[in-house]
């Protein structure tokens, strides 16, 4: 909601306290047009650079992030409320990703080239799409922007990034350092609200959209983008298959992954599915592990009042008969924020809202299946298909189940383990496209085939 004082700004709230911490500008049609036009002007120079020079500049940006890590950590904490150790790890990952794509900018992969037609020679070259509009959510402001911007820039595009309304801080800092390392208007940040994002998506001057957010918002982006190239990551609802021979650390690892970033991650563990034979023991051990995780000490708050209200609605509508909660361990200056304890819901129907919806909070549901096939059916029985995990000491069984899960990324005896080298992407209502790895470069490139006639028709090919 806009402030009464200035309709061109929105208030910024500290998630740890619920108090106003400042304000941010709101981009409207003139600001969107100006940013896109500046990106278009910068495009010719940026795409003309050799891969070596783009690589050097991206590496310099990675260095600036590392050099100013403390400022980035503070900016991430201001908008998200996450603990310093979580923010520090994400800042480190952002620098690593820019450095990874600095290297990837110098790699080349293309379909075969050669003499496919008599008397002709053909080549395939990858070209940048142009100006990429990037719209990212509030759960990982810097990291989600880096996932999108780094490969887009490495591929030779310029980018205009619209951060979430509540978390512009770290991306405004990134834009300053991008100007220094990459050049004027190569990578810009355009703060604003949902209307700002809609204007950016619909802008005629934007060639492609990279969007990370909810399925409903993704559908809206698709409708507004027209024929633009789209890369969509639209959330998840990750199943976790826990077999009777699960490793001893399964419970602590799941509790840690579930509460990381207060559960506000598209790939976070969400739905634990056991067999009947290990359901009672699994529920007992998982409940104990979740109760060990304290909000405030181990993880941060939910991001904003709307998300807290949504979380409360889903939990309140659940028909779960067994519930358990962890503790709040808040400091004196953390009262009044959007804190929610770690929570487990069990003995609930398969169509419970806490099962079907992406809860996006520090919560696990626990279901029981009458066998492995039913467990798989439950796991694959929701529209989202982003990530999943299997927990068993039997490597052969675990790998087979991971292969049968409908998910773009599956883990065995771990969860949320990611690195720049490995691709990440969704299926179903979780969207399409690829983040991370060199494969992500193709999200922001298009192939062009060039064929040249090297001898006239009927000419004899020389020996």
Catalytic residues: 233, 266
Return the axis-axis angle of helices 141-154 and 69-80, rounded to nearest 10°.
120
Q: SS3 letters for 187-212?
A: EEECCCCHHHHHHHHHCCCCCEEEEE
CA distance 425 to 442: 13
Q: Is 344 helix (H, G, I), strand (E, B) or coil?
A: strand
CA distance 304 to 439: 34
| Torsion angle (degrees, nearest 10) of CA 344, 346, 350, 352 | -60
192: Cβ contacts below 8 Å, ≥ 6 apart: 24, 25, 26, 27, 28, 31, 162, 165
Question: Which residue's entry shows tokens 């990459």?
Answer: 182
Q: Comparing C-alpha atoms, which of 284, 279, 251 is closest to residue 367?
A: 279
C-beta separation of 143 from 94 below 8 A: yes
Residue 292, judged by CB atoms within 10 A of its CB (0-12, 13-18, 19+), counts as middle
CA distance 182 to 63: 12
């Amino acid at each position: 909601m806009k402030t009464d004082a200035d309709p061109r700004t929105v208030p910024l709230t500290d998630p740890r306290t619920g108090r106003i911490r400042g304000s941010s500008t709101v981009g409207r049609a003139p600001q969107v047009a100006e940013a896109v036009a500046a990106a278009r002007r910068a495009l010719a120079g940026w795409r003309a650079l050799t891969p070596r020079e783009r690589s050097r500049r991206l590496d310099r940006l990675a260095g600036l992030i590392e050099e100013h890590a403390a400022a980035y950590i503070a900016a991430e904490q201001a908008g998200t409320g996450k603990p310093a150790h979580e923010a520090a790890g994400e800042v480190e990952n952002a620098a690593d990703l820019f450095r990874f794509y600095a290297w990837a900018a110098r790699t080349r992969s293309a379909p075969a080239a050669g003499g496919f037609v008599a008397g002709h020679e053909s080549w395939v070259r990858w070209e940048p799409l142009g100006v990429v509009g990037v719209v990212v959510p509030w759960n990982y402001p810097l990291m989600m922007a880096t996932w999108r911007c780094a490969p887009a820039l490495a591929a030779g595009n310029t980018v205009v990034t619209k951060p979430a309304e509540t978390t512009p801080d770290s991306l405004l800092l990134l834009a300053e350092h991008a100007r220094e390392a990459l050049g004027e208007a190569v990578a810009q940040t355009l703060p604003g609200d949902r209307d700002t994002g809609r204007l950016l998506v619909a802008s005629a001057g934007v060639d492609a959209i990279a969007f990370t957010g909810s399925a409903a918002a993704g559908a809206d982006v698709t409708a507004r983008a027209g024929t633009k190239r789209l890369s969509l990551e639209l959330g998840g609802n990750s199943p976790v298959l826990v077999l009777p021979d699960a490793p001893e650390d399964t419970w602590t690892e799941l509790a840690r992954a579930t509460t990381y970033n207060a559960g506000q991650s598209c790939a976070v563990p969400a739905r634990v599915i056991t067999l009947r034979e290990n359901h009672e023991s699994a529920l007992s051990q998982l409940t104990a592990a979740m109760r060990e995780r304290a909000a405030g000490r181990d993880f941060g708050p939910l991001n904003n009042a709307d998300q807290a209200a949504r979380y409360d609605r889903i939990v309140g509508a659940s028909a779960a008969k067994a519930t358990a909660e962890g503790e709040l361990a808040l400091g004196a200056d953390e009262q009044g924020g959007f804190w929610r304890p770690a929570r487990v819901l069990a003995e609930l129907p398969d169509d419970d809202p806490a099962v079907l919806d992406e809860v996006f909070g520090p919560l696990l549901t626990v279901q029981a299946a009458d066998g492995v096939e039913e467990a798989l059916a439950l796991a694959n029985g929701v529209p989202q298909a982003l990530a999943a995990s299997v927990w068993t000491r039997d490597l052969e069984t675990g790998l087979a189940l991971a292969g049968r899960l409908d998910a773009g990324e599956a883990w065995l005896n771990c969860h949320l383990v990611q690195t720049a080298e490995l691709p990440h992407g969704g299926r179903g209502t979780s969207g399409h496209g690829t983040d991370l790895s060199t494969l992500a470069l193709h999200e922001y490139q298009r192939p062009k085939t060039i064929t040249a006639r090297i001898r006239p028709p009927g000419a004899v090919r020389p020996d």
